Chain A
Amino acid sequence: MKQRTLWSAVLVAGLTVAGCGSATRTAPSPAASGTSGTGKLVVWDWKSGDATAASYIEKAKADFAKKHPGVTVEFVAQPFDNYYTLLGTAIQSSTGPDVMLFNGGGQLRDRVDALLPLDEYVAEDRQRLAGWDAFSKDGKVYAAPVTLQGHPIYYNKDIYQKAGLDPAKPPATWDELMTACAAVKKAGKSCFALGNKEGFGIQFFLSGLGSGVLTPQEYDDWIAGKRDWTSPHVKQIFTLWKDVNDKGFNNAGANSTAMFNDSWAIFQSGKAANVIGLMSDIGHWKDFGEFLPPDQIGVMPAPVVTDGATPSLAYDGGIGYGVAKWTKDPKLAADLVRSLTSTDALTAFYAKAGAIASDTTIDASQSGPAAGAIVAAIKSGKPALHVALSSKTLDLMGRLSQKLLSGSVTVDKAMDQMAAADKAS
């Protein structure tokens, strides 16, 4: 009897509090910010621990120390695999770093509630740096870009030559690409190195080839948020995704091949002729150049599928530093962000880590033909298509792309689901 009373008491207590409070802390109390005592800033990222980023951090620190000699800066390098989980916990409790590193696009936009708009602090840098869009939401900037990240199509000139193709003239239209792929396949190589285990392969395919399929108007509408998933061109991208695989132009077992880093390995080891890669950090011109002769690596614009489409390089701000809302001295933290994006620091980052830095005043044309071609394409480049999607939509797109490859869903059904998910988020 007594126990029953106790249980009902617990139940009643539980029900009365159910639905109160919130899973994410709403208003950060200044007292709760445990890290930003006067004269100390804490930075979270996943870069500062890398040996290749050491001189970048060094330069940025020196620049900041010149402006604010009394302030100590502590860099905390978190493991990237758990970075956003750790950050989520920090955001929930409104304690943690003053300055933090973000990937551009969804990862940042999902968390702008915890970030400080930087517009007034970074006005001077707007012209010098490129890639702001990926760090903006509703017209406000929340982080300053450090690198540019994009999806050039790399090709192995050596394989092209061996397959009887002209390496100086990569395929310019989709038909030419398919003919080239057939020749490459005949020569015993895969046409594309594809890793879609994590569902990232479709993101690269969409952004790498999308500018050759969508008309400029459709492209701009997509980026602006007016996405029509029933349009024939959008549908065509996913049909092509399936076609390439059905024709056997991808490496076998794409759904169980990890993009990071097994698919790069396939390209680097000369087993595949093409790969849609990255510009910075990993899987790019500098990485490939360590295994293949740099002059054998070419970059081609997206082949034209639709008449009237103008191929452009898809790129965005890659990684960038933002300022937490709960920091004590926003001006100070914003100054640190400015130091982290100073020309000196970024030059060091580009040279050591192999990244296309956001600073347009850096000359990158000396690093081989691939890097040169990428830098030359930046001016006419546009934001990547997949970066405009929310992380939830991207997650679904990854799963659907695997189903398309295995044939367990039709393109039409997949488009319906994508439309619903995109509308909901």
Chain B
Amino acid sequence: MPIGGSSPLVRPGAPGRTSGEDTTRQASHRATGAGSRRAARSERLAPYVLVAPAVLIILGLRLYPLILGVNFSFTGDGDRNGTTVGFDNYLELFDDPLFRTALGNVGLLVLLLPVAVAIPGLLATFIYLRVPGHRVFRSVYFFPAVLSPVIVGSIFNLMLAFDGPLNTVLGTIGIGPVDWLGDPDVTMFTVVGVHVWATFGMALVVFLAGFSTLDSSLLDAAQMDGASLARTIWHVVIPSLSRTIAFVLVTTMIGMLTSMFGLLYVMTSGGPEGSTYLPEYYIWIQQGQMNRPALASAASTVLFLIMLVVGLAQVGLLRRAGRQD
């Protein structure tokens, strides 16, 4: 970039001109010098001006509300509205068994993640290996992914009712009725199961896309060597698909942590006995039902920190998976 006072724009004067001409040239040289300095400054500022809209949007619509929320979490509710209360809200949060249950459920979701990834992975493998009817399965498996959580929740509310169809079927084969949505030890798994049922179609499609890049000669070689299906999956399919698996892991995780609210709202309302609370639901209840916006801000801040840690771990995971080849 031609920045600086040396002015290539100014032609050197022809020799033997009059001194009058010479002064004019000098004056014009001075003027062009100031102009080029202005040009230089505007060129220095240009990048800032150009990125300003993006930065202002991030500052104004992302960071400012975030800081505001964190700030509110240090103020009180009700009578203490507007006064600084230090870490009172956080102490109350971690003293609340309901919030601790919510955090525990986040941990449970993370533990259940491998199952949520294995199911679409396994089904995709079967479809890839062309089990009979694989075309039908491919579309049927994807179908629930287009339903909204509210509809899915309502369907399963009917199916899983205590006197509903599933318990009737279980009854006919001699298994006692299970209170799918009323037993605190069962309900969280029920809801996660329904969530996986409703969303695994997306992951399945990603897996199928991954399979299309799979080197079929490796599979043929394994078959020639007489490898069993389980060994083929373990030694050939999984290593070849590590990037796809990492990607599905990350997206499934995000899905589990951010989009369970609808299902919980429709299916359990956080119950029974508060066993299916998640931080999001807790925040909604405190802000909307209990009129505790400051406490809700504190819970949001905690959730934000958790998501930050999870997010960074995911970025690390994706980066590592990307490095492998």
Q: Which residues of A contact B (CB under 8 A)?
A: 14, 17-24, 26, 82, 84-85, 88, 92, 110-111, 113, 197-199, 252-258, 262, 391-392, 395, 398-399, 402-403, 406, 408
With an 8 A cutoff between CB atoms, is B225 at the interface?
A: no
Given contacts A23-B297, A92-B293, A398-B271, 14 further A-B contacts (CB under 8 A): A17-B71, A21-B72, A22-B76, A23-B294, A82-B288, A85-B289, A113-B81, A197-B269, A252-B163, A253-B163, A255-B271, A256-B161, A395-B289, A402-B271
Q: Known A23-B77, A252-B177; judge A399-B271 contact (CB<8 A).
A: yes
With an 8 A cutoff between CB atoms, is B179 at the interface?
A: yes
Find out whether the CB atom of B273 lies under 8 angstroms from the CB atom of A253: no
CB contacts (< 8 Å) of A110 on chain B: these are 290-291
CB contacts (< 8 Å) of B261 on chain A: these are none
CB contacts (< 8 Å) of B67 on chain A: these are 14, 17
6 closest cross-chain pairs (CB), A and B = A253-B162, A256-B182, A22-B82, A85-B288, A19-B84, A255-B182
Q: Known A253-B179, A256-B181; judge A18-B71 contact (CB<8 A).
A: yes
Find out whether the CB atom of B271 lies under 8 angstroms from the CB atom of A391: no
In the bound complex, what is the Cα–Cα distance between A392 and B274 (angstroms)?
Answer: 13
In the bound complex, what is the Cα–Cα distance between A197 and B183 (angstroms)?
Answer: 11
With an 8 A cutoff between CB atoms, is B74 at the interface?
A: yes
Find out whether the CB atom of A21 lies under 8 angstroms from the CB atom of B163: no
In the bound complex, what is the Cα–Cα distance between A19 and B269 (angstroms)?
Answer: 32
CB contacts (< 8 Å) of B273 on chain A: these are 255, 399, 402-403, 406, 408
Q: Which residues of B contact A (CB under 8 A)?
A: 67-68, 70-72, 74-78, 81-86, 98, 157, 160-163, 177, 179-184, 268-269, 271-274, 284-285, 287-291, 293-294, 296-297
In the bound complex, what is the Cα–Cα distance between A295 and B38 (angstroms)?
Answer: 93
> Which of A256, A258, A402, A406 interacts with B180 by CB under 8 Å?
A256
CB contacts (< 8 Å) of B85 on chain A: these are 19
CB contacts (< 8 Å) of A85 on chain B: these are 284, 287-289
In the bound complex, what is the Cα–Cα distance between A395 and B293 (angstroms)?
Answer: 17
Closest to A81 in B: B265
A111, A197, A253, A262 — most chain B CB neighbours (10 Å): A253
Minimum C-beta distance from A254 to chain B (A): 8
> Which of B78, B98, B162, B268 interacts with A257 by CB under 8 Å?
B162
Q: Known A17-B67, A23-B75; judge A256-B179 contact (CB<8 A).
A: yes
Closest to B287 in A: A88
In the bound complex, what is the Cα–Cα distance between A198 and B290 (angstroms)?
Answer: 15
Find out whether the CB atom of B272 lies under 8 angstroms from the CB atom of A197: yes
Closest to A18 in B: B74
Find out whether the CB atom of A199 lies under 8 angstroms from the CB atom of B84: no
> Which of B76, B157, B272, B274 interacts with A406 by CB under 8 Å?
B272
Closest to A258 in B: B157
In the bound complex, what is the Cα–Cα distance between A391 and B161 (angstroms)?
Answer: 28
Find out whether the CB atom of A111 lies under 8 angstroms from the CB atom of B291: yes
Instruction: Give 11 pairs: A residue, B residue, CB < 8 Å, sorted on A.
Output: A20-B71, A20-B84, A21-B82, A22-B294, A23-B293, A252-B177, A256-B162, A403-B273, A406-B184, A408-B184, A408-B273
Find out whether the CB atom of B288 lies under 8 angstroms from the CB atom of A256: no
Task: Name the prevailing secondary structure of the B interface residues.
Answer: loop
Q: Known A253-B179, A403-B273; judge A19-B81 contact (CB<8 A).
A: no
Find out whether the CB atom of A197 lies under 8 angstroms from the CB atom of B294: no
Closest to B268 in A: A197
> Which of B74, B157, B162 interacts with A252 by CB under 8 Å?
B162
In the bound complex, what is the Cα–Cα distance between A260 and B175 (angstroms)?
Answer: 29
> Which of B71, B274, B289 interacts with A391 by CB under 8 Å?
B289
CB contacts (< 8 Å) of A24 on chain B: these are 77, 81-82, 293-294
Q: Known A88-B293, A92-B293, A392-B290; judge A19-B272 contact (CB<8 A).
A: no
CB contacts (< 8 Å) of A262 on chain B: these are 161
Minimum C-beta distance from A403 to chain B (A): 5
Find out whether the CB atom of B163 lies under 8 angstroms from the CB atom of A14: no
CB contacts (< 8 Å) of A84 on chain B: these are 288-289, 291
In the bound complex, what is the Cα–Cα distance between A391 and B290 (angstroms)?
Answer: 6
CB contacts (< 8 Å) of A82 on chain B: these are 288
In the bound complex, what is the Cα–Cα distance between A24 and B292 (angstroms)?
Answer: 9
Find out whether the CB atom of B72 lies under 8 angstroms from the CB atom of A88: no
Minimum C-beta distance from B85 to chain A (A): 7
CB contacts (< 8 Å) of A26 on chain B: these are 81-82
CB contacts (< 8 Å) of A92 on chain B: these are 293
Closest to B181 in A: A256
> Which of A88, A198, A399 interacts with B291 by CB under 8 Å?
A88
Find out whether the CB atom of A255 lies under 8 angstroms from the CB atom of B272: yes
Find out whether the CB atom of B184 lies under 8 angstroms from the CB atom of A23: no
In the bound complex, what is the Cα–Cα distance between A197 and B293 (angstroms)?
Answer: 26
In the bound complex, what is the Cα–Cα distance between A199 and B272 (angstroms)?
Answer: 8
In the bound complex, what is the Cα–Cα distance between A395 and B86 (angstroms)?
Answer: 26
Minimum C-beta distance from A174 to chain B (A): 27
Closest to A91 in B: B291
CB contacts (< 8 Å) of A398 on chain B: these are 271
Minimum C-beta distance from A202 to chain B (A): 12
Minimum C-beta distance from B288 to chain A (A): 3
Find out whether the CB atom of A253 lies under 8 angstroms from the CB atom of B161: yes
Find out whether the CB atom of A197 lies under 8 angstroms from the CB atom of B71: no
Find out whether the CB atom of B271 lies under 8 angstroms from the CB atom of A199: yes
CB contacts (< 8 Å) of B284 on chain A: these are 85
CB contacts (< 8 Å) of B296 on chain A: these are 23
In the bound complex, what is the Cα–Cα distance between A197 and B71 (angstroms)?
Answer: 36
In the bound complex, what is the Cα–Cα distance between A17 and B63 (angstroms)?
Answer: 14
Minimum C-beta distance from B84 to chain A (A): 3
Find out whether the CB atom of A22 lies under 8 angstroms from the CB atom of B274: no
Minimum C-beta distance from B118 to chain A (A): 29
